[in-house]
Amino acid sequence: MLKQFKKYIKSQRKAKDLPCTYEQVNHNPNFKLKYQDDIIGYLNYDGSVWSFDYSEWFKNQDDLQPLFEFPAKEKVYKSVELWPFFESRIPSIKQPKVQAYLETHPSDRNNKVKLLELFGITSVNNPYKLVLNL
């Protein structure tokens, strides 16, 4: 009986080889851009348009300058393309950790929201943190 069970287990596919049939999807992801403990602004995606706007705290302070790509504090910026400031936070798919993730989640290869959530928290390009606002 034990031999039959072992044979059955060996014949089963590994979990990573199984198709993903369910994954929780955040339909309106909202990220917070933070500097130390302060919220600088919010990055949102509605499925077709990205938007970025500064937090009230940031609008009312004068110590930190606005980001180069977003010079007006009061404006809500919108774009169908993710801005380079945020895009640069997504590592190359040639990075081992990204490759490992995409092997088990191939449908996320072009999912910028998911890649930002997993790999875009910190960046070597700037001191800000990008965290998913749950």
What's the token pair of residue 36?
A: 């130390």
pLDDT in tens, 84-132: 999 999 888 888 888 888 888 888 888 889 999 999 899 888 999 999 9
**Predicted pLDDT of residue 4:** 63
Q: How far apart are CA 85 and CA 82, in angstroms?
A: 8
pLDDT in tens, 1-20: 666 655 555 555 444 454 44
The residues facing 53 across adjacent strands are: 42
Q: How far apart are CA 46 and CA 48, in angstroms?
A: 6
**Predicted pLDDT of residue 109:** 87
**Predicted pLDDT of residue 31:** 96
Q: How far apart are CA 130 and CA 97, in angstroms?
A: 18
pLDDT in tens, 67-87: 999 999 999 999 999 999 999
